[in-house]
Amino acid sequence: MLTPLRCQNCTKKLTPQKKDDRKIDRDVSGSTSLMTVAIEAVVPAQRRALSDCSCNSFNRLNGQPSMTNVKQNRAAWNRLAETGSQFANVATDEELKNPLQTLETRGWLPPSVTGLNVLCLAGGGGWQSILYAAAGANVSVVDLSPSMLALDRHEAERRNLKVNCVETSMDDLSEFDDAYFDIVHQPVSTCYVSDIGRVYREIARVSKDNAIYISQHKQPTSLQIVRRDHHDNYVLGIQYYHEGALPATTDVSYREPGAVEYMHRWDQLVGELCRSGFVLEDLREPYRGDPHAQPGHFRHRGRYIAPYVRLKARRQSRTGETTEQPASRIWTPDS
């Protein structure tokens, strides 16, 4: 008889089962999930019980992503893609007239990406991938959602562009060789995995020395908001040190329906990035406020708390060399 335990997130009592008692999980297409098989083989029963808690909080199984969250988020994003979410808008003819300017208005990209290897990470939906491919890059797009990737495939075919679509989770880039990409571009998506460090380390591995990594993330304070009160103030109802999946909130601005989301602290968003082998070159907070927006509108909330942060980072050289010229010696009157 295995000792019962409590979920670290919701404290629900969980009863571990012996390995043989537990049926093998299947993914949405009905095929056996390899990751679940791996977990079955290596994770002790007590840790498996935590992973099975219906609150979806436990997402660190011997370093493997939780299959529950992967499945739930894949289904959520399939639904969003199929119901015309704003995040599933493909690149337009107008946007394709100047693809690099459309992709990045802050001058973070080189003047040309022709022949560069670009990874659009968690970037399904037929926008980033199509723009980079139109600009002459060799593009791979990774996404968890087959419906999002179908948009990339369809658009690439329609426009006679080449895009390599890979269905996987952002924290498992084993499909790609070390030091392969010149640019990694990741729209808001790290909120769907509990361990952002694992994502960063994978990106560091597949990036060439001095590669550019552009990413956008949800800010932690915005994710701490649970509701708007009767004075139209926003209430921070989730602790900064909250661990595990975020609970449902009354104010759902900047949250996606049906998805399991995690909050990452600044120490993790920026600190983990630096500890994974990147140097931060710029940081912006895209403005989402509107002075005329009424309470209840996401742009009203955007006036109080910036929902997103956008980072430009560069992969440090593996040998410790930089592309910069060594700083000239400081001149002093005696020198």
| One of 188, 260, 269, 305 touching ligand SAM (CB under 6 A) | 188
Number of residues in contact with ligand SAM under rule CB under 6 A: 21
127 part of the interface to ligand SAM, by CB under 6 A: yes
Q: How far is the CB of 17 from ligand SAM (least distance, A)?
A: 27
CA distances from 165 to 143, 149, 152, 192, 200 (A): 8, 6, 7, 20, 20
User: d(Cα 209, Cα 331) in Å, to the nearest integer?
Assistant: 32
254 part of the interface to ligand SAM, by CB under 6 A: no
Strand partners, 234: 228
68 part of the interface to ligand SAM, by CB under 6 A: no
Q: How far is the CB of 14 from ligand SAM (least distance, A)?
A: 24
233 burial class (0-12, 13-18, 19+ CB within 10 angstroms)?
A: exposed
> Which is closer to ligand SAM, CB of 16 or CB of 124?
124
Picking from 139, 200, 182, the residue whose alpha carbon sits closest to that of residue 164 is: 139
64 part of the interface to ligand SAM, by CB under 6 A: no
| One of 189, 224, 268, 276 touching ligand SAM (CB under 6 A) | 189
> Which of the stretches 17-25, 182-190, 279-287, 317-325 binds ligand SAM when contact is defined by CB under 6 A?
182-190
Q: How far is the CB of 152 from ligand SAM (least distance, A)?
A: 9
Cα maximum dimension of the chain: 80
Give the footprint of ligand SAM on residues 261-320 (CB under 6 A). none
CB 152 within 8 A of CB 133: no
CB neighbours of 78 closer than 8 A, spacing ≥ 6? 28, 145, 146, 147, 148
Which residues here bind ligand SAM, judged by CB under 6 A?
Answer: 73, 77, 87, 122-125, 127-128, 142-145, 148, 169-170, 187-189, 192-193
